[in-house]
Amino acid sequence: MFRKMKALAALAFALMILAGSFAAAEPTVISGSGLFDTMGFIGTLPDGRMIFFGTTGKNRIRRLLCLEPEGTVSWELKNFTDDMYAPAITEDGTIAIPGKDKIVFLSPEGKETGKEIPLAMDKETFYQPTSRGMMKYCQAEDTIKSAEFIDWEGHTLFSLDPGRVVMGAGMITDRDGLIMAGRAPGTDRDEEMKVVRVDWQGKILWEKPLPRWKKYDWDYLRLATVTSDGCILVLYSQEIYSFPERKSYTQLIKIGADTEILWTKEAVLDGEKGREITDVAEYDGKYVIACGLGRQGLHSATRTYLWLDADGNELGTVRQSIRQTDIPGLEDVKKIQYLEDYLVSSGENLWLVLTTFAEHPDIGETRNSMKQVLLRIPVL
């Protein structure tokens, strides 16, 4: 999901809270309006600034964008290096960017540091960067043949038995080691999802299978993240198809440091009824859950956020009114679809990144476009 951003504009959105209070926001357009203009959130710098990475224009020029915690632009780079891939933010705020045949490093201000690490690249080798280094995978077809973790000095810390590798919801590193969440590559769909923790010597400390609670046709992990209290949050979805309807069941699962499942929170989307958990973020020691817009159009949509404490207890909900007429370039578009959204927590701010797809009549032709908007959301 990834044109040239013409401008950064201020918008006004009405934020309505169930309790009846009112808040205003001035979100930022971070990409639009070309079909290939999309930006994905990479992470936050130590000072709270947000890093986004994506592509722009028909040639899919790579773009790196840094926003201040309040949503204004700090700096932006385009085509910094050949074949730039999604970067990682290291622990000191340096930005590591995989390129065609090397890793290059930028300062938190987007300046070259001069540091590079060569990469061995071929069609069977790929890298997954994290805050503390990168996992190098060698594969044949869908099977991982080898996996080794390389730190940001270029040293191999450990290797993993290919049978112990799981992939699906990203990879997380912390002071205790590596966390993988998903299923083993190339395995049958009946293979269970699990969360695996590995120490910095490559020893598997524990594996936690995730429970199946429905007879599903498709399952996947949307998210895995480490919380401020040292636990792990996993967003696990299972889907059932009975053509033409789809039922999606999602569980938010919190796993303790000793692998015990501490609690789960479930949501269901049945056709056009109900709500579905699409993302979760931690904010001020609490968890905010984004409940999907589902099949609502953006002529007038309502976003619901459910707040939980660290023990999974419901604290209340907040509602946000999102109107198409408030988004520059979409005011008069008749055919517009909501695609996806996700949450970003940055300093004292909590954001929703909303992505839309629109069809624009243009002199007898149809010009399709994507647009992403950064919306400040109300806090409970």
What mean pLDDT comes out for the span 35-55? Answer: 87
Q: How confident is residue 37, by pLDDT bands cut at 50, 70 and 90?
A: confident
Burial (CB count <10 Å: 0-12, 13-18, 19+), residue 185: middle
At 268 the pLDDT is 63
Task: Count CB-CB contacts under 10 A for residue 197.
Answer: 22
Backbone torsion region of residue 85, taken as left when φ is above 0, otherwise alpha when ψ lies between -120 and 50, otherwise beta = beta
Task: Count CB-CB contacts under 10 A for residue 342.
Answer: 18
**Domains within the chain, CATH numbers bracketed:** 90-209 (2.130.10.10)
DSSP state of 20: S
Of 159-173, 269-283, 331-345, which one has max mean pLDDT?
Answer: 159-173
What mean pLDDT comes out for the span 184-195? Answer: 80
| Angstrom distances, CA of residue 64 to CA of 109, 309, 367 | 12, 34, 25
Q: Is the pLDDT confidence value at 24 over 60? A: no
Q: pLDDT: is 216 or 369 the higher one?
A: 216
What mean pLDDT comes out for the span 140-168? Answer: 90
66 contacts 49 by C-beta, under 8 angstroms: yes
Q: pLDDT: is 304 or 295 the higher one?
A: 304
Nearest to 76 by CA among 113, 106, 35: 106
Helix (H, G, I), strand (E, B) or coil at 360: strand
Q: How confident is residue 9, by pLDDT bands cut at 50, 70 and 90?
A: very low
| Angstrom distances, CA of residue 297 to CA of 16, 219, 277, 286 | 18, 26, 18, 30
Q: pLDDT: is 300 or 190 the higher one?
A: 190
Structure tokens belonging to residue 242:
């009975």
Q: Is the pLDDT confidence value at 366 over 60? A: no
Q: Is the pLDDT confidence value at 163 over 50? A: yes
Nearest to 195 by CA among 207, 213, 177: 207
Q: Is the pLDDT confidence value at 257 over 50? A: yes
**Ramachandran angles phi, psi of 164, nearest 5°:** -100, -5
Q: Annotate 156-217 with DSSP letters as a single string.
A: EEEEE-GGG--EEEEEEEETTEEEEEEE-TT--TTSPPEEEEE-TTS-EEEEEEPPP-S--S
Of 41-45, 139-143, 294-298, which one has max mean pLDDT?
Answer: 41-45
What mean pLDDT comes out for the span 16-20? Answer: 26
* Mean pLDDT of all residues belonging to the chain: 79
316 contacts 21 by C-beta, under 8 angstroms: no
Of 98-107, 237-246, 315-324, which one has max mean pLDDT?
Answer: 98-107
Nearest to 237 by CA among 209, 207, 274, 212: 212
| Residue 15, CB-side half-sphere exposure with 13 Å CA sphere | 21
CA distance 327 to 343: 19
At 34 the pLDDT is 61
Of 11-25, 161-175, 177-191, 240-254, which one has max mean pLDDT?
Answer: 161-175
What is the percent of the chain where pLDDT is above 70?
78
Q: Is the pLDDT confidence value at 17 over 50? A: no
Task: Count CB-CB contacts under 10 A for residue 295.
Answer: 11
CA distance 246 to 305: 23
Q: pLDDT: is 16 or 161 the higher one?
A: 161
What mean pLDDT comes out for the span 342-369? Answer: 74
Helix (H, G, I), strand (E, B) or coil at 114: strand
Q: Is the pLDDT confidence value at 130 over 90? A: yes
92-116 pLDDT, tens digit each:
999 999 888 889 999 999 999 999 9
What mean pLDDT comes out for the span 249-255? Answer: 91
The type of residue at 3 is R
Q: Is the pLDDT confidence value at 23 over 60? A: no
The type of residue at 170 is G
At 92 the pLDDT is 92
